[in-house]
Structures are given as structure tokens and as C-alpha cells.
């Protein structure tokens, strides 16, 4: 059942549950009150009969006059001693229901006049009488009938009004909901930047719209990322594939020339290497983003790890006649995933070697100060202009794409390094050196886990 119907039925039910018992109570109160008035009158009449029987038994004639006790009858041993003329006229003896034995009962005459009759045994000395007094209840019945009709009419009108009111009310209450649903239906991947309307951000609908809008914002961001990622990946793959094709075609034009073929094969292998690295990095990134990268943290010496990385890459620095130095302190133990941290340090040192010209100087420093632990990799290469600093850790971001292609980078190394720093609760920063080059720093704020 729709919320609207449920609200409407609930609303009607509560109105019915309030109004019907309330009307019933009013009816019951009025009926009892009117009956009390008549009964009281009958009891007063009965008291007069009683007194007359005891004190003035000869004055029953006067009693039957208008304004006194108009409807009464007195019997002794079944024989009527006296009955007022009105009693006779109304033929009340035949109106009394034969089965009725209660002292107070209702009776209906032949011409459909309703009476309330009170009967009472009265003893005077050795004589036993039965006195009956009656009172017409047509007025009371009419009042009750009018009241009943009024209540039924009022109830019907109230219910119709409540139904109408409930309809308008639920319509008004639920219309923002409908608008939200209508708008949400129109939002797809093509227009994810659109948002749901919010009349009042403080009410429940506003809150709901806000929650949806936040979800849309996240979806939009993910879509954008995915789009950029796909574009970047296709762009990255297109270039080496074009190169491979070009080289292959070139080699085919001179199949008998061994030198050309060997050179082509060499370039093809280089491109395949580049492609493998790219695919490797992309795999790492996609595992990172899906949040399923298995972490294996152990307590390890950061100095030892950095030294290993530096020694491993020294051959590349030597090729470029660069000086590659490392400064470390006594063991600095940290909870790290050794494989990942090695990769992060390697990316930084490798970049330094790659982007620093021949004869350049690269320094790696691992230290522990009172407030922090850090690994710094600095070089005296070209540095990175400050405009690029905010984006340098984004995927596929390269300062000079042409030159980077020549050196083989796809712009993923720093993105992966930044993620590794992040999952090690460390900060990664960079700053240009005062004279030349750049310094990358991975920094743990407090040495709590040493």
C-alpha cells in the first residue's frame, strides 16, 4: 500500500477513533439525563400517590386534574381502585407490555405513543395496593432522535471533510517526495552534475535530498575519475602501440637488412618493457582503488630499507655519473609493509636519478627528530615549478609529458608513492631546494610506533 494511502487511512482511523466515542458519550449523557428527568418526575408523582393513599384516599379525583398527577392507576388485589381519565384515555393498561415486571418500563400505546411507567406496591394498614404512574416520553424520544440524526449527519460531514482534508494534507506533505523522486528519475550518468531540489534543508525531505545529493556528488566524482582514468589509460596505451606499429612497418620495408631489424626489435622490446611497467602500475592502482590491497606490516628498520634501495639503484646513478649519497641514523624501527615502502622509496630515488641531469647530486636522508621521522630524497636537477605541486601526486600527471615519455614515465609513480605514504599514516610533501632541484619527503608526525 502506498505511503499516501497509509497516511490517509491512519489519519481517518484516528479521527474515527476520536469522534465516534466522543459522539457516543455525548448521546449517552443526554439520554441518561433526559431519562433521569422523567424518572425523577415519575418518582415525585409516585410519592404524591403514596401520600394520597395514606392521608387523603378520598381525593383521588382531584389528583387526576390537569397539572397534578395526570397519568396514574391504583389497583388492589388486581382490581382497579382508581385510574385517572388520561390513563383510561390513553388506554395505558393495554400499552404495558405483558411480560414487563421491572418497576420502570417503557410502553407503547395502540396509537404508537411511548410512555415510561413506574409501578410500586404500597401498603396502607392491612391493604396492599399497586400504584402505577406514567409519563409520555415522545419529547424525550424526539430530542434523542434529533440528536442521533445530528450526530450521524455531523459524523458523515466530519468524515467527508476529514477525507478531503487528509487528501489535501497528504498531497501537500508528500509532494516534495514526489518531486524528489521525479527529479531523481531524470538523473543518469549523462547529467550526474544535477542535484535534487531542497525547499528546506532543515526538514526531513531536505535531509533526504541532501543525502541523495551527497551520493550523487560521490558518484559523479567516481564517474569523473573513471572517465579520466580510461582516457589516460587509452592515451598511454595508444602511443606505445603506434610506436610498435611504426617500427614493425619500418622493419618490414627492409626485411633483408639485419641491422634495421635488430634495431627495430630492440625498440620493440623497450616499448614492451614500458608497457609492462605501465600495466604493472595500473594493476597496483586498481587494487589500491578497490581497497583490496593486502597489507603486511612488520617492524622494520627504515634506515636499512632505504640503504638497500639506494644500493640497488646506484648502478643507474653511476651510469649518469651522478653522486648518490645516503645519510642514516641508528636503526629507526617502524611498523611498515616492507614491500610497499621499498616501492615508495624506490620511486622517489628512481625519479631523482631519472630527472637529474648527468653529474648531478642526489641525497637520501633518513632521520628521527623529537617530533617526527622522515625520509628525504633531494636532488639538484631541474626541480618542479610550484604550480605543479598541488597536482604532482595525481595519476598520470607529468610536468613535461613529452620529456617524460622520453624518460619512460607514465606519471603513476608518485600517485602510488602518495598512496603508500597514506596507508602508512605518513605525509608526503615536496619543496624546491633553494639552489636547484627538489626534495621529496615522507614524514611520520609522531614517533609513537617506534
CB of 330 to ligand ADP, least distance (A): 28
Whole-angstrom distance, CA of residue 449 vs CA of residue 334:
6
Q: Residue 305 has which C-alpha cell?
A: 630499507
C-alpha distances in Å from residue 243, one per residue of 171, 182, 237, 276, 418: 65, 50, 10, 15, 31
**Shortest Cβ distance from residue 212 to ligand ADP (Å)?**
36
Taking the complex as a whole, how short is the minimal distance between the CB of residue 274 and ligand ADP, in angstroms?
A: 10
- Closer to ligand ADP by CB, 73 or 398: give it: 398
Answer yes or no: are the C-beta atoms of 223 and 215 closer than 8 Å.
Answer: no
Nearer to ligand ADP, 176 or 413 (CB): 413
- Select the residue interacting with ligand ADP from 438, 441, 442, 444 (CB under 6 A): 438
**For residues 76 and 388, which CB has a smaller minimum distance to ligand ADP in the complex?**
388
Q: Considering the complex, what minimum distance in angstroms separates the CB of residue 439 from ligand ADP?
A: 9
Place of cell 620493440: 268
Residue nearer to ligand ADP on the CB measure, 15 or 374 = 374
Query: Closest distance between ligand ADP and the C-beta of residue 340, in Å?
Result: 15
Specify the residue, 247 or 415, whose C-beta has the smaller distance to ligand ADP.
Answer: 415
CB of 357 to ligand ADP, least distance (A): 10
- CB nearer to ligand ADP: give 119 or 379: 379
Q: Does 379 bind ligand ADP (CB under 6 A)?
A: yes
Q: Angle formed by the axes of helices 258-290 and 204-253, to 10°?
A: 170
Burial of 193 (0-12, 13-18, 19+ CB in 10 A): exposed
To ligand ADP, the closest distance from the beta carbon of 323 in angstroms equals: 15
Lookup result for grid cell 636503526? 331
Residues 387-426, interacting with ligand ADP (CB under 6 A): 392, 397-400, 404, 409-415
Asked if residue 346 lies in contact with residue 383, where contact means CB atoms within 8 angstroms, the answer is no
Q: Restricting to residues 323-352, which ones interact with ligand ADP according to CB under 6 A?
A: 347, 351-352
- As given in the structure block, the three cell numbers for residue 24 are 457516543
- Would you count residue 382 as binding ligand ADP (CB under 6 A)? yes
Q: How far is the CB of 411 from ligand ADP (least distance, A)?
A: 4
State the Cα–Cα distance between residues 299 and 334, nearest whole angstrom. Answer: 5
Residue 381 binds ligand ADP, judged by CB under 6 A: yes
Query: Residues binding ligand ADP: what is the number (CB under 6 A)?
Result: 22
By CB under 6 A, the residues from 39 to 68 that bind ligand ADP are none
For ligand ADP, the binding residue among 30, 48, 384, 423 (CB under 6 A) is 384
Based on CB atoms, which residue is closest to ligand ADP, 141 or 394? Answer: 394
- Tell me how far, at minimum, the Cβ of 329 lies from ligand ADP, in Å: 23
Question: Minimal CB distance to ligand ADP: which residue?
Answer: 409
Listed ranges 118-126, 128-136, 315-323, 380-388: which one lies at the site for ligand ADP (CB under 6 A): 380-388
Measure Cα distances from 94 to 104, 224, 275 in Å: 16, 98, 118
Binding range to ligand ADP, per CB under 6 A, among 51-59, 168-176, 290-298, 377-385: 377-385
**Which C-beta is closer to ligand ADP: that of 162 or that of 410?**
410
Contacts to ligand ADP by CB under 6 A = 347, 351-352, 355, 379, 381-382, 384, 392, 397-400, 404, 409-415, 438
Amino acid at each position: 500500500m502506498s505511503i499516501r494511502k497509509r497516511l490517509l487511512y491512519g489519519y481517518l482511523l484516528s479521527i474515527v477513533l476520536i469522534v465516534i466515542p466522543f459522539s457516543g458519550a455525548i448521546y449517552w449523557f443526554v439520554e441518561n439525563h433526559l431519562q433521569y428527568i422523567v424518572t425523577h418526575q415519575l418518582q415525585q408523582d409516585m410519592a404524591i400517590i403514596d401520600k394520597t393513599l395514606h392521608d387523603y384516599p378520598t381525593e383521588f379525583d382531584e389528583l387526576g386534574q390537569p397539572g397534578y398527577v395526570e397519568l396514574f392507576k391504583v389497583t388492589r388485589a388486581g382490581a382497579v381502585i382508581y385510574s385517572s381519565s388520561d390513563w383510561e384515555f390513553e388506554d395505558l393498561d393495554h400499552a404495558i407490555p405483558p411480560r414487563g415486571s421491572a418497576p420502570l418500563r417503557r410502553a407503547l400505546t395502540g396509537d404508537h405513543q411511548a410512555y415510561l411507567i413506574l409501578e410500586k406496591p404500597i401498603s396502607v394498614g392491612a391493604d396492599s395496593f399497586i400504584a402505577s404512574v406514567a409519563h409520555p416520553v415522545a419529547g424525550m424520544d424526539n430530542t434523542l432522535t434529533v440528536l442521533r440524526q445530528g450526530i450521524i449527519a455531523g459524523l458523515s460531514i466530519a468524515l467527508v471533510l476529514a477525507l478531503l482534508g487528509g487528501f489535501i494534507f497528504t498531497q501537500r506533505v508528500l509532494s516534495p517526495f514526489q518531486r524528489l523522486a521525479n527529479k531523481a528519475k531524470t538523473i543518469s550518468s549523462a547529467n550526474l552534475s544535477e542535484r535534487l531540489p531542497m525547499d528546506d534543508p532543515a526538514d526531513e525531505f531536505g535531509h533526504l535530498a541532501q543525502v541523495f545529493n551527497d551520493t550523487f556528488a560521490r558518484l559523479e566524482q567516481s564517474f569523473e575519475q573513471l572517465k579520466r582514468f580510461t582516457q589516460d589509460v587509452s592515451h598511454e596505451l595508444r602511443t606505445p602501440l603506434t610506436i610498435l606499429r611504426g617500427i614493425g612497418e619500418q622493419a618490414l620495408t627492409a626485411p633483408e637488412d639485419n641491422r634495421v631489424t635488430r634495431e627495430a626489435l630492440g625498440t620493440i622490446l623497450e616499448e614492451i618493457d614500458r608497457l609492462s611497467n605501465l600495466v604493472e602500475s595500473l594493476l597496483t592502482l586498481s587494487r589500491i582503488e578497490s581497497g583490496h590491497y593486502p597489507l603486511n606490516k612488520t617492524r622494520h628498520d627504515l634506515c636499512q630499507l632505504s640503504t638497500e634501495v639506494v644500493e640497488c639503484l646506484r648502478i643507474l646513478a653511476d651510469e649518469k655519473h651522478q653522486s648518490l649519497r645516503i645519510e642514516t641514523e641508528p636503526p629507526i624501527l617502524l611498523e611498515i609493509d616492507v614491500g610497499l615502502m621499498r616501492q615508495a622509496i624506490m620511486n622517489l630515488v628512481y625519479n631523482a636519478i631519472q630527472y637529474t641531469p648527468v653529474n648531478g647530486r642526489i641525497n637520501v636522508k633518513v632521520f628521527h627528530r623529537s617530533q617526527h621521522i622522515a625520509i628525504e630524497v633531494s636532488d639538484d636537477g631541474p626541480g618542479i615549478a610550484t604550480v605543479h605541486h598541488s597536482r604532482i601526486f595525481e595519476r598520470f600527471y607529468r610536468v613535461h609529458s613529452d620529456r617524460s615519455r622520453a624518460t619512460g614515465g607514465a606519471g603513476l609513480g608518485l600517485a602510488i608513492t602518495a598512496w603508500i605514504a597514506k596507508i602508512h599514516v605518513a605525509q608526503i610533501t615536496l619543496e624546491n631546494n633553494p639552489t636547484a632541484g627538489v626534495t621529496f619527503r615522507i614524514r611520520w608526525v609522531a614517533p609513537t610506533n617506534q
